[in-house]
Structure 1
Amino acid sequence: MFETQQGYIVSRHSGDENGRLSIHYYVKTDKATVKVTIANPETLFFTNAPVEAIATDVHGVDCEPSQLKTFSHDEVTVVRCQSLLLQQQMVAMVKKLGFTVYEEDVKPEDRYLMERHIRGKVTFIGQPDASGQSFSEARLKVGEYEPAWQVWSLDIETSVTRNELLSIGITSGDRKVVLVVSPEQTDLENVYTFADERKLLMAFIKFVRKHSPDIIIGWNVIGFDLMFLDQRFKTLGIKPALGVQGETWRVREAKESGKVFANIAGRVVLDGITMLKVGGYHFNSYSLNNVSQELLDDSKLLAGGDRWQEIERMHREELANFVAYNLQDCVLVEQIFAKLQLIELQQTRVDLTGIPLSQTGGSVASFENLYLPRLHRKGWVAPAWSDDKFVPSPGGFVMNSVPGLYKNVLVFDFKSLYPSIIRTFYVDPLARVVGQALSQEEGVVPGYRGASFQRQFAILPELVAELAHSREQAKQDGNDILSYAIKIIMNSFYGVLGSSVCRFYHAELASSITMRGHELLGRSKQWMEERGAKVIYGDTDSLFITLSDELSEEQAWEAGKQLCAVVNQCLSEWCGDYADIESHLELEFETLYTRFYMPTIRGQEEGSKKRYAGLSGGELIFKGLEAARSDWTPLAKRFQVELFEHLFFDKDLNHYVSSFVADLLEGRYDSELVYTKQLTRPLSKYTKTQPPHVRAARMIDDQRAQQGLPPEYDRGRKRVQYVYTLSGVSPFLDQQALDSLDYQHYIDKQILPIAEGVFQMLNLEVTDILTPQFNLL
């Protein structure tokens, strides 16, 4: 007897079983997460080969003409196969015959959902087994289910000296559990001790199977925690049966990128660092300690590069403190996810685009999920992968700045510029190939690099319009998560069309977006200057202008609003005259800097780009300057902020700088002299140059080798802390590293570069202030 249920797709899978394709999904329902296997599944691809050229009597393969066409206007045949193996063989045969294949790489489990417009919420009908945990012969359609996720925050502790697992901590709301290797029993609440790793790992498997989390979160949880657990499972010969129905998980590392992936049937693993970046959050350091301090005003119970020694000591001698340390990391991650609504953001991305719940990136997948069904409905198949040479499109508009100190700087931004260009000028893969093929000019909108777009065939403008409308509605409803998720999707379209990893890539597409942006910024600049404004800088979608210094703040705001309205009217009229199109371009005026500093390129008279400081609404704002960068010391950031407070509020700069340097020489800022920089690749890859942070990392690993410890930085992708002492670069491991600091270095490299640009604009000589201090060294 068949049953109908509502649920949410947690994970999706396909593979050949007994010579037949199996497509199955793990779906969270109110009762449990169940396995749903699709009835009569098939996998398919398209080809420009005629049916008679590839006709075969092989059982399980069906070829028939299709109503679809290729971008080359060829008719296509659809080849349906009952197994992945058969599809691989048919694809190879078609290619050998000299024909082209299309969409052969679309996974059958993704195509099944895509063609039915299913994202995450689903209604399924299927035949349950006796346990009610599996459904066969199932069919799926769009549903309305809202899941209540069971989320676990997971963190492990390990022995660096023995490369062994010490404990696994788990928190989920009020539940806090630690499984720990310990020779003794304990009366600590919810702490379970085990004689060795094997027994702990076996208990962990049982615990996961019993309580069945939907989503596991953590900090570098895939790249470290799961990777380490997987290695211990393999070493001890244990099958990691952590899937919903006891399936083995798969944790693998990509050879080229070094990125680690985890696949667990019916469960999803989300990494906190990755989710922060998906959410558009930026931190000087993405360490758990730093992020929790900034977001939660809380921190780990231990921090620093040598904390492993204290962890091992607490494990031996102070089990209660060790457990507290393990659980604190879990709690911090849980609180960060909750505060920033990172799981809600991820689910919203799934609901909008249909990407798998576990896929934190996936701009190309998002685009194809949205575009392919629309393309098929219009009668076309996606283009085949091309070996054509990649031609990068021009970057965003960036004009040379006019350096100086200003009052009343107004900033105008185009709202969602690139999506608006797509919508206004009909930039679209299908519209391009149709416009190229048709000779008539009616309905054609010119692009760049020879492109033209036939507006009646454009898909993307309609898609962008739908998303833009949904975003406005989300804003009205106060749904910030939905609004931001839509923004991410719309802004990704340009990057996808300009990326060689997208099958729809063509140089004319991305160029018709960026070069149109250049034109629009240039025209807007002209219209503003014709009305008395002076444009001092432009960047991608923004223009910075100055009006009279004599205007009050209120007058400047009113002048900015009027100028914005005029330019928007000019844009609308120009679009009509240009190609009889409706403008969806919208210039906004939202920022007024009452004081503003645009620097020169260091050591030159030419104005810099993407670097400035301003005072807006009483708040100091830095862009690209030392105070906004992670590779300068806290000292430099403090100095720059305080320097510009003195500059913008007309305080005595000379006295401030000389006093600051005097305090530096007296050691009052020693704790702020630590550099922190990220290793972008393994240490062994730094062969041509040896930057300071690389030398510091090598020193640390050399010391560890002498102690018989494994290297800490051999894999790279970690931040290194170091200082400059009188003997040169030195790793910052503890306070002893501050005993012989090279103050001259910090004056020359951290203070002088910040001060000299400002003093030069004021016709002052900063070295006159600093020279007496030099003599004290």
Structure 2
Amino acid sequence: MLKLRGFILQASYRVVSGSAGTRVPVIHIYGRLEDGGTFLVRDNRQRPHFYIRTSDVERASALTSQQSVALEKRTFNGEPVSRFDMETPTDVPGLRDRLHDVGVDTYEADVRFAIRYLIERGIKGGCEIEGEATPGEGITWVFDNPVLRPADVRIEPRVLSFDIETDGKGERLLAISMYSSEIDEVLIVDGSDRPMPEKATRCVDEYSALNAFCERVQQLDPDVITGWNIVDFDLTALQKMAQRLRHPFSLGRDAGAIRIRKAEGYFGSGQASIPGRLVMDGIDLLRGAFVRMDDYSLDAVAREVLGEGKAVAGDVRDRLAEIIHNYRHDLPAFALYARTDARLVFEIVAKLNVIHLAVARSQLTGMTPDRVAASIASFDFLYLSELEKLGIVAPTVRSSDSRVYEAQQGGHVLEPLTGLHRNVWVFDFKSLYPSIIRTFNIDPLSYVARPQPTDDLIETPGGAFRREPAILPRVLDELFPRRDVAKKQGDEVASHAIKILMNSCYGVLGTPACRFYNPALANSITGTGREILLWSKQWFESAGYTVLYGDTDSLFVRSGMPDADEARALGKELAAKLNRDIAQYIGQEWRVTSKMELKFEKLYLRLFLPRARGSTRGASKRYAGLLNAADIDGVQFVGMEVVRRDWTALAKQVQRELYHRLFTDQPVDVYLADIVGRVRDGKLDDQLVYKKNLRKDTEEYTATTPPHVVAARKSTQPLGRLISYVITTAGPEPIDNIQHPLDREHYVIKQIKPVAEPVLATLGLDFEQVIGDSRQMDLYALLGDR
């Protein structure tokens, strides 16, 4: 009998043959032990099941021979339920759908079998395992039908990054490179007697390379296998090669083939399952952690994060030809390129802490680390775990559609007072929406659809809620102090994980794909946020201050003070006073304890609020502010061209410099005239590239053909999602196939002028006069974009 603690990496099941021809589903839980070993829990005692109202049992019995079991559990409305047990998980959807067809509602009939196993035991990431165990083959301990309990377990995941090189069609394997803290090696497929470069191993054929790769994986025993686009390309290509070569291609800790689920939709990513190991694609890890990049190619991300790109001598966009050439004629360069790719991925995910973040999010929600980015599923696990404790069942999800159809209020935006302002306070409500949920007890379980006049409820703009403590407010009450502790301890990973979870609570409630979808809940949160924002605006105005702008959870207030240090000190005092007053207001108006907290966030020495293009009204969610007069990077931009991917590097450079000059009282006219002259002289051609994503295949653009699609159709290279192109005298052309001279005047009119005009208008200057081109007419405005 052993009692060990570990962290769950993977939860799945397999169906085996039982007695008398029965089929028995067996839960498989794989993970790492605290002592560094590995474990597998196998449990054949669990049965797939779901619930219906007990009042519907008679109607349901006409559709199945399965017997129902009456339970003490209840629906949200307090109705008793009965449970249907099925033989295997695949038997559930058929009966569920038949019941729906005759109008019988089901409950939790879509919850994954292995996930339900964890939910019912309250396990989130860490667990204590107690039971009989035997040494496994490739796994330290195998437990059969043990007792699992929740436990707080911390592990350091072992990570292996790999990358493959193939021929132009992705059909013939040239090399497999691997990188981790223990290995830096490339397996090169080469049947000759050429000398192998440093850290390269010869494999006489593709079969030998697959053999060697599988052996390395088994020896290194990683918890996480990562790479760049490894599911849709690397693993998919290797699986096809293995099938062609009849190679077993065993990468798991346990017997079983790799399973790959193809990407759905143009922007989807595929998923891969290897027994006992996590497959976590680098691109998905960044996106799941909300790390925003203009370009998600490995070269671009590596340069942004590490300051180092791919090991190529020529243009990285035409790397295929160089790879093939080096494979044939320069093996050291080929090996370096392959090894560098694997290393870059490893170092990117390590530096950004995205794997550790996934593990931390798993500990919070219960979802396995490879699925924590699925916000609805993570919220589902968390909330269902709490319902399980209360003996309440939740509705089955009927829709996978995450689009919003019913009217929902967004965050409230105050119209900006346009122009240039000095010493402006910025106040933010700390985690506004989670704080509203906590304060007003907003929760699927506490919501009252049809309030009675005699009910003592918390009335919000979107709906009414009971006063008895509910699930979400309690969960958030626990998370807030945990995040504060993490921040004080400098644990950015834990703090970020908690922030992501807290912020997701609002979004999922307004999404039809969530089982707890209810527009009234989302509108209660945003509607209350609007009231709080407007009340705070009035509070400042009553104190004699001018509110220049506000958006959802923030207010920009003119201090009217010439001294910046004195303004900062007063800003902190005002935030503390408003918090006291708003707590009193909320307590009197709703009879609840306020969890709202306004913070003095920063002081802009200068703030510019522009007009919307072609309008006299102020532009929402667009501004530039100066924090530090001594540094051009002291200018912060929100919603402006400098932070948008679809503007050129030229426009961004010009905008950044112009606002720094405006805010520090430096002349702009000489700089602007010089930059236009340099563009026209061809000295800034490297800054004229546009980058824009394709949102579907190029042939699917039929109603309109945007410039990046025109360019994509002219490309000679395999298309990715991001298209890089320039405007020439013949229109848009991809940078890999530029056939005509650049139309530099286009960039003067369409890139420099739009970012310059708001600054020039503030100074009473005219663009054409400043650049010394008073004869110029904006023909592009007359003819339209090219």
| Equivalent position of 1:730 in the other structure | 733
Q: For 1:71 and 1:24, locate their aligned partners in 2 and report how far apart those are by CA, in whole Å.
A: 32
Q: For 1:729 and 1:89, locate their aligned partners in 2 and report how far apart those are by CA, in whole Å.
A: 52
Instruction: Provide the secondary structure at the position in 1 that maps to 2:773.
Output: helix
The worse-fitting range, judged by mean Cα deviation, of 140-149 and 630-639 is: 140-149
Q: For 1:254 and 1:657, locate their aligned partners in 2 and report how far apart those are by CA, in whole Å.
A: 47
2:165 to 157, 167, 178: 157
On the 8 A contact 1:448/1:508 being kept in 2, the answer is: no
Query: Which amino acid counterpart does residue 148 of structure 1 have in structure 2?
Result: E
On the 8 A contact 1:129/1:135 being kept in 2, the answer is: yes
| Equivalent position of 1:109 in the other structure | 114
On the 8 A contact 1:62/1:81 being kept in 2, the answer is: no
| Equivalent position of 1:749 in the other structure | 750
Q: For 1:360 and 1:221, locate their aligned partners in 2 and report how far apart those are by CA, in whole Å.
A: 19
The worse-fitting range, judged by mean Cα deviation, of 156-165 and 284-293 is: 156-165
| Equivalent position of 2:296 in the other structure | 286
Query: Which amino acid counterpart does residue 407 of structure 1 have in structure 2?
Result: R
> Within the alignment, does 1:337 sit opposite 2:349 as a pair?
yes
CA positional deviation for 1:92: 5.3
> Within the alignment, does 1:213 sit opposite 2:222 as a pair?
yes
1:148 to 130, 152, 156: 156
Q: For 1:130 and 1:730, locate their aligned partners in 2 and report how far apart those are by CA, in whole Å.
A: 61
Q: For 2:322 and 2:486, locate their aligned partners in 1 and report how far apart those are by CA, in whole Å.
A: 49
CA positional deviation for 1:39: 4.6
Instruction: Provide the secondary structure at the position in 2 that maps to 1:608.
Output: coil
> Within the alignment, does 1:183 sit opposite 2:187 as a pair?
no
CA positional deviation for 1:281: 2.0
Which sections of structure 2, spanning at least 5 residues, go unmatched? 18-22, 780-786
On the 8 A contact 1:723/1:729 being kept in 2, the answer is: yes
Which sections of structure 1, spanning at least 5 residues, go unmatched? 705-711
Task: Rate the CA distance shift 1:530–1:509 in 2: closer, same or farther, 3 A.
Answer: same
2:306 to 289, 292, 296: 296
Q: For 1:55 and 1:329, locate their aligned partners in 2 and report how far apart those are by CA, in whole Å.
A: 57
Instruction: Provide the secondary structure at the position in 2 that maps to 1:448.
Output: coil
Q: For 2:180 and 2:652, locate their aligned partners in 1 and report how far apart those are by CA, in whole Å.
A: 38
CA positional deviation for 1:34: 3.3
Query: Which amino acid counterpart does residue 275 of structure 1 have in structure 2?
Result: L
On the 8 A contact 1:51/1:64 being kept in 2, the answer is: no
Query: Which amino acid counterpart does residue 176 of structure 1 have in structure 2?
Result: D
Q: Deviations over 1:343-377 (max 9, x none)?
A: 21111001111111211412122212221232233
Q: For 2:775 and 2:555, locate their aligned partners in 1 and report how far apart those are by CA, in whole Å.
A: 42
On the 8 A contact 2:72/2:80 being kept in 1, the answer is: yes
2:237 to 228, 234, 241: 228
**Within-5 A mapping of 1:536-685:** 536-548=548-560, 550-618=561-629, 619-685=634-700
Instruction: Provide the secondary structure at the position in 2 that maps to 1:529.
Output: helix
CA positional deviation for 1:381: 1.3
Task: Rate the CA distance shift 1:74–1:314 in 2: closer, same or farther, 3 A.
Answer: same
Task: Rate the CA distance shift 1:96–1:723 in 2: closer, same or farther, 3 A.
Answer: closer
Instruction: Provide the secondary structure at the position in 1 that maps to 2:30.
Output: strand
| Equivalent position of 1:413 in the other structure | 428
Identity %: 36
Q: Deviations over 1:371-422 (max 9, x none)?
A: 1232233342113435799414111112221110111111111100000000
Query: Which amino acid counterpart does residue 459 of structure 2 have in structure 1?
Result: P
CA positional deviation for 1:494: 0.2
> Within the alignment, does 1:125 sit opposite 2:124 as a pair?
no
1:491 to 494, 503, 518: 503
CA positional deviation for 1:774: 7.1
Q: Deviations over 1:232-252 (max 9, x none)?
A: 333444443222123101112
Q: Deviations over 1:511-565 (max 9, x none)?
A: 00011111111111111111111112111211112132x5210122123223222
On the 8 A contact 1:572/1:583 being kept in 2, the answer is: yes
Task: Rate the CA distance shift 1:445–1:144 in 2: closer, same or farther, 3 A.
Answer: closer
CA positional deviation for 1:215: 0.5
Task: Rate the CA distance shift 1:393–1:56 in 2: closer, same or farther, 3 A.
Answer: closer
* Pairwise CA RMSD: 2.6
Task: Rate the CA distance shift 1:627–1:462 in 2: closer, same or farther, 3 A.
Answer: same
2:375 to 351, 363, 370: 363
Task: Rate the CA distance shift 1:123–1:674 in 2: closer, same or farther, 3 A.
Answer: same
| Equivalent position of 1:397 in the other structure | 412
| Equivalent position of 1:528 in the other structure | 540
Q: For 1:360 and 1:232, locate their aligned partners in 2 and report how far apart those are by CA, in whole Å.
A: 31
On the 8 A contact 2:727/2:742 being kept in 1, the answer is: yes
On the 8 A contact 2:425/2:558 being kept in 1, the answer is: yes
Q: For 2:107 and 2:762, locate their aligned partners in 1 and report how far apart those are by CA, in whole Å.
A: 61
CA positional deviation for 1:315: 0.6
Q: For 1:264 and 1:61, locate their aligned partners in 2 and report how far apart those are by CA, in whole Å.
A: 34
| Equivalent position of 2:10 in the other structure | 11
Instruction: Provide the secondary structure at the position in 2 that maps to 1:772.
Output: coil
| Equivalent position of 2:705 in the other structure | 690
**TM value normalised by structure 2:** 0.91
Q: For 1:54 and 1:228, locate their aligned partners in 2 and report how far apart those are by CA, in whole Å.
A: 50
Task: Rate the CA distance shift 1:219–1:129 in 2: closer, same or farther, 3 A.
Answer: same
On the 8 A contact 2:26/2:42 being kept in 1, the answer is: yes
| Equivalent position of 1:352 in the other structure | 364
CA positional deviation for 1:266: 0.4
**TM value normalised by structure 1:** 0.92
On the 8 A contact 2:49/2:83 being kept in 1, the answer is: yes
Task: Rate the CA distance shift 1:587–1:162 in 2: closer, same or farther, 3 A.
Answer: closer
**Within-5 A mapping of 1:755-766:** 755-766=756-767
1:38 to 9, 33, 43: 43
Instruction: Provide the secondary structure at the position in 2 that maps to 1:231.
Output: helix
> Within the alignment, does 1:441 sit opposite 2:455 as a pair?
yes
Q: Deviations over 1:12-46 (max 9, x none)?
A: 11243221121111122346433210151222211
2:31 to 20, 27, 35: 27
2:259 to 240, 245, 250: 250
The worse-fitting range, judged by mean Cα deviation, of 106-115 and 24-33 is: 24-33
Query: Which amino acid counterpart does residue 70 of structure 2 have in structure 1?
Result: P
On the 8 A contact 1:304/1:733 being kept in 2, the answer is: no
| Equivalent position of 1:70 in the other structure | 75
On the 8 A contact 2:362/2:372 being kept in 1, the answer is: no
Q: For 1:59 and 1:72, locate their aligned partners in 2 and report how far apart those are by CA, in whole Å.
A: 26
CA positional deviation for 1:453: 0.4
The worse-fitting range, judged by mean Cα deviation, of 408-417 and 25-34 is: 25-34
**Within-5 A mapping of 1:468-507:** 468-507=480-519
Instruction: Provide the secondary structure at the position in 1 that maps to 2:316.
Output: coil
Query: Which amino acid counterpart does residue 527 of structure 1 have in structure 2?
Result: W
> Within the alignment, does 1:264 sit opposite 2:279 as a pair?
no
Q: Deviations over 1:683-736 (max 9, x none)?
A: 121112111111111101xx46xxxxxxx12xxx521111122232222128x7
Task: Rate the CA distance shift 1:553–1:144 in 2: closer, same or farther, 3 A.
Answer: closer
Q: For 2:396 and 2:294, locate their aligned partners in 1 and report how far apart those are by CA, in whole Å.
A: 42
Q: Deviations over 1:171-230 (max 9, x none)?
A: 111411211221224343442223332332233233323432210111222232222223
Alignment: residue pair count = 758
1:373 to 385, 388, 405: 385
The worse-fitting range, judged by mean Cα deviation, of 56-65 and 371-380 is: 56-65
On the 8 A contact 2:131/2:147 being kept in 1, the answer is: yes
Q: For 1:96 and 1:270, locate their aligned partners in 2 and report how far apart those are by CA, in whole Å.
A: 38
